[in-house]
Amino acid sequence: MFYSELLSHTGEKPFKCSQCGRGFVSAGVLKAHIRTHTGLKAFKCLICNGAFTTGGSLRRHMGIHNDLRPYMCPYCQKTFKTSLNCKKHMKTHRYVYSFCMYPPTYFGSLSLKIL
């Protein structure tokens, strides 16, 4: 097991940012974070010239330039570009599906208001 993986389970973050004091589990993540303070944006979008501090941010950004929607809600099959937006949407189903063990007439008109 890698040291940084072990730290992720213990919650320990020994790599501290000298500018803001925020802690990280690895030197690599700290290095990427430091770029947010320096303003260095070395990752450029070839389509719109947007600039980003990390490669991950650039990859996430590239989703706006295509119509791919790879994340699907298992409850209603609506699709999303990001997993975060899909997860947020899925919370809208939490009340609807918590009542699924009862027949629709059990709640009378209440079940119509929830949907």
SS (H, E, C) 17-50: CCCCCCEECCHHHHHHHHHHHHCCCCEECCCCCC
The answer to whether residues 21 and 57 belong to one domain is: yes
d(CA 51, CA 42): 7
The answer to whether residues 48 and 86 belong to one domain is: no
Span 49-64, pLDDT tens digits: 999 988 888 998 998 8
73-82 average pLDDT score: 91
> pTM higher than 0.85, yes or no?
no
Q: Rounded mean pLDDT of the chain?
A: 80
The answer to whether residues 37 and 83 belong to one domain is: no
Number of structural domains in the chain: 2
* Residue 2 in this model has a pLDDT that exceeds 90: no
The answer to whether residues 51 and 18 belong to one domain is: yes
The answer to whether residues 8 and 44 belong to one domain is: yes
Q: pLDDT category, 44, cuts 50, 70, 90?
A: very high
* Residue 45 in this model has a pLDDT that exceeds 90: yes
DSSP, res 65: G
Share of the chain above pLDDT 70, in %: 75
CA 44 distance to own-chain centroid? 21
Q: 28-37 long-range CB contacts below 8 Å, 24 or more apart?
A: none
Domain that holds residue 98: 71-114
